[in-house]
A = this chain, B = another copy of it.
Amino acid sequence: MVRQESDSLVLRPTRAGLHEFTESVESWLASTGISEGLLTIFCRHTSASLLIQENAASAVGRDLQRYFARLAPESEVYEHDDEGPDDMPAHLRSALTQTHLSIPVSRGRMVLGTWQGIFLFEHRRATPERRVALHLIGE
Q: A interface vs B, CB < 8 Å?
A: 1-4, 6, 8, 36-38, 40, 42, 44-46, 51-54, 57, 59-60, 62-64, 67, 71-72, 78-80, 82, 88, 91-92, 94-104, 106, 111-113, 115-116, 131, 133-135, 137-139
How many monomers of this chain does the complex have? Answer: 3
Evaluate contact between B88 and A63: CB separation under 8 angstroms.
yes
| Chain B CB within 10 Å, residue with most, of A1, A8, A54 | A54
Closest to A68 in B: B95
Q: Which 7 A-B pairs have the closest CB atoms?
A: A44-B113, A104-B135, A59-B80, A59-B79, A111-B133, A52-B99, A46-B54
Closest to A4 in B: B36
- How long is the Cα–Cα vector from A37 to B42 in the complex, in angstroms? 13
Evaluate contact between A82 and B57: CB separation under 8 angstroms.
yes
Contacts of A111 in B (CB 8 A): 8, 42, 44, 133
List 13 additional contacts besides A46-B116, A104-B135; criterion CB under 8 Å: A6-B36, A6-B106, A42-B104, A45-B113, A59-B78, A59-B80, A60-B80, A63-B80, A95-B97, A98-B98, A104-B133, A111-B133, A113-B131
